[in-house]
Structure 1
Amino acid sequence: MKFALHFGNITFPKPEDAKKLATLAESAGFESIIAVEHTVIPSNYSTKYPYNETGRLPGDIDTDWPDPLAWLTYIGAITQSIRLITGVLILPQRNPLILAKHLATIDCLTNGRLELGVGVGWLREEFDALGIPFKKRGERMDEYIQSMRKLWTENHASYSGNFVNFNQMNCSPKPKNSRIPIIIGGHSKIAVKRAAQLGDGFFPATGMQADLEPLLDMIKQEALKMGRDPKDIEIMTGCPEVLPGSGHDALHAVEYKKNLGVNRLALPVSAFLPDLETRLLTFGESVIKKFQR
């Protein structure tokens, strides 16, 4: 089992705090750090946030949302081994050619440690502000994934779709290992099918733990329909039962998720506050080390 710290960039947006988080996480044995994304957040929005009961984003108007790629690049420069994950980047809002170059550059600079968690997005008002159609954003994302992989793996790459078209294009540098793992975020049936078809990983929404077992059964079946081995799709999800102060047996909770087929647990940084250093290092000794043997 691998352990990740989630919401790193919005919990510690300032450079000195981000550095402390990254170095402590690496020392404690966390395998990865996850950064989240919203380019702009309307002061008033009617779209319901789908991952909690309030229907509103966590934080308030003063919460900083640093760009996840810039933030991950910064902590990548001051760490050696911890993996750098977007969880999630709203892919339909990005230009896929520019993003392909940006991601490959970061991956090379950080010695192949980047993973791209992507989602279709839910905040209609954000899409409107960016001038990007909210409709068909799922189809747009599929083409962006396919076209970026073309650019990463081929010289003289070509792609023809409804949203992306290019002919005989070269995009260098290539990722260090010729590809960047792509993790599909979401908890809908469409997200499951997308992960089975296009994903190197699947990230069911962390607020939807009651639906986890049905989702995992579904992705196994969909992967088999696609002719894929379900084990080739890495599963990442939250695990509130393992957090400090949850009142649950952390080791039992991790073992339960492991037996379901989960490969990586994403834990919110805020759960380790206020005494970040002590709580991270204690968790590393009491939980992470038990699953590294």
Structure 2
Amino acid sequence: MKFTLHFGNNNFPDLAGATRFVQLAEAAGFDSVLAIDHVVFPHDYKSTYPYSATGRLFGSPSDPLPDPLIWMAFMAAATTRLRFMTGVIILPLRHPLVLAKQVATLDFMSQGRIELGIGVGWLKEEFEALGVPFEKRGKRTDEYIAAMRALWANDGASFTGEFVNFTEVSCNPKPIKGRVPIVIGGHSEAAARRAGRIGDGFFPSIGAQVDTRPLFDIARRTAETAGRDPAAIEMIAGCPELLPGASGDPQAALLERKERGIGRIVVPVGPFLPDLEETLGRFGETIIKPFGRL
């Protein structure tokens, strides 16, 4: 079982705080840290945020939210083992060739410690501000993934699609292992099917206002239909029983998730604040060390 901390870049937008955070996470034995993404924060939006009971984004437009890739680059340089994942980057808002270059460079320079968590997006007003159509964002996402993988796989790559077209181009450096794992985020059946068809992992969010447990089965069934091994898709879920101050049996909660095929547990960093030295260290001793081999 692997353990991941979420919401790194918005909780720690400054260099000193972020460095302290990731180095303590690495020392405690966490596998990875996740960074969230929004390019702009519309002041007046009618879209419903699906990961809060209020339907509204946390924080305010004036709160700093560093770009996840740049934040991850700084933090990869401050660590040696810790992995980093976007959780999630809004893929339809990013040009796939530019993003492929950025992510491959980051993976190459961090010696393969990068994962790309992607989502199709929910904030229509953000799409409008960037001039990207909100419609067909799912199809655009699928095509962008295929285009990026083509660039990572070979030099002289070509791709023909509805949204992306290029002929015999090369993008270097390549990722360390020839590709960057792409984790599909989202709390919908469409996201689960996308994970089954083309994802290396599936993360239906720890804050979704719906029961996400059936989505893992949908992802597995879709993988089988697509001729893929369902076991090759890493399933990622939350576990509130592990958080500081929570009630319940952590071992029983972890065993239940393992039986459901969950391979990675994501916990938000908020409950560990402010005394990270004490809380992350204790989590490492009481959870990661005894249960990391489940």
Shared topology, TM-score over 0.5?
yes
Aligned partners of 2:248 and 2:242: how far apart in 1? Answer: 7
Aligned partners of 1:209 and 1:81: how far apart in 2? Answer: 33
Which residue number in structure 2 is paired with residue 202 of structure 1?
202
- Work out whether residues 243 and 250 of structure 1, in 8 Å CA contact, stay in contact via their aligned partners in 2: no
Report the secondary structure of 1:194's partner residue. helix
Which residue number in structure 2 is paired with residue 171 of structure 1?
171
Report the secondary structure of 1:211's partner residue. coil
Q: By how many angstroms is 1:51 displaced?
A: 1.2
Q: By how many angstroms is 1:256 displaced?
A: 1.5
Which residue number in structure 1 is paired with residue 257 of structure 2?
257
Aligned partners of 1:85 and 1:192: how far apart in 2? Answer: 19
Give the CA RMSD over aligned residues: 1.1
- Work out whether residues 50 and 209 of structure 2, in 8 Å CA contact, stay in contact via their aligned partners in 1: no
Which residue number in structure 2 is paired with residue 134 of structure 1?
134
Q: Give runs of aligned pairs for residues 253-292 of structure 1, distance below 5 A.
A: 253-292=253-292
Aligned partners of 1:150 and 1:242: how far apart in 2? Answer: 39
Aligned partners of 1:141 and 1:175: how far apart in 2? Answer: 20
Aligned partners of 2:71 and 2:207: how far apart in 1? Answer: 24
Aligned partners of 2:21 and 2:276: how far apart in 1? Answer: 8
TM-score w.r.t. the length of structure 1 is 0.98
Q: By how many angstroms is 1:206 displaced?
A: 1.3
Aligned partners of 1:100 and 1:65: how far apart in 2? Answer: 22
Aligned partners of 1:292 and 1:2: how far apart in 2? Answer: 6
Which residue number in structure 2 is paired with residue 53 of structure 1?
53
Matched, 1:243 2:249: no
CA shift digits 1:237-279 (9 cap, x unpaired): 2222211112122222122111111111111111101211100
Aligned partners of 2:193 and 2:113: how far apart in 1? Answer: 26
Which residue number in structure 2 is paired with residue 21 of structure 1?
21
Which residue number in structure 2 is paired with residue 81 of structure 1?
81
Q: By how many angstroms is 1:58 displaced?
A: 1.2
Q: By how many angstroms is 1:208 displaced?
A: 3.2
Q: Give runs of aligned pairs for residues 201-220 of structure 1, distance below 5 A.
A: 201-208=201-208, 211-220=211-220
Q: Percent identical across equivalent pairs?
A: 52
Which residue number in structure 2 is paired with residue 6 of structure 1?
6
- Work out whether residues 209 and 238 of structure 1, in 8 Å CA contact, stay in contact via their aligned partners in 2: no
Aligned partners of 1:64 and 1:38: how far apart in 2? Answer: 11
Query: Given residue 183 of structure 1, which amino acid in structure 2 is its aligned partner?
Result: V
Aligned partners of 2:231 and 2:136: how far apart in 1? Answer: 30
Report the secondary structure of 1:285's partner residue. helix
Report the secondary structure of 2:180's partner residue. coil
Aligned partners of 2:205 and 2:23: how far apart in 1? Answer: 27
- Work out whether residues 52 and 209 of structure 2, in 8 Å CA contact, stay in contact via their aligned partners in 1: no
Query: Given residue 41 of structure 1, which amino acid in structure 2 is its aligned partner?
Result: F
Aligned partners of 1:35 and 1:208: how far apart in 2? Answer: 17
Which structure 2 segments of 5+ residues have no match?
A: none
Report the secondary structure of 2:47's partner residue. coil
Query: Given residue 262 of structure 1, which amino acid in structure 2 is its aligned partner?
Result: I
Q: Give runs of aligned pairs for residues 33-182 of structure 1, distance below 5 A.
A: 33-182=33-182
Which residue number in structure 2 is paired with residue 230 of structure 1?
230
Report the secondary structure of 1:79's partner residue. coil
Q: By how many angstroms is 1:209 displaced?
A: 7.7
Query: Given residue 22 of structure 2, which amino acid in structure 1 is its aligned partner?
Result: A
Aligned partners of 2:29 and 2:144: how far apart in 1? Answer: 33
Aligned partners of 1:273 and 1:209: how far apart in 2? Answer: 24
- Work out whether residues 4 and 266 of structure 2, in 8 Å CA contact, stay in contact via their aligned partners in 1: yes
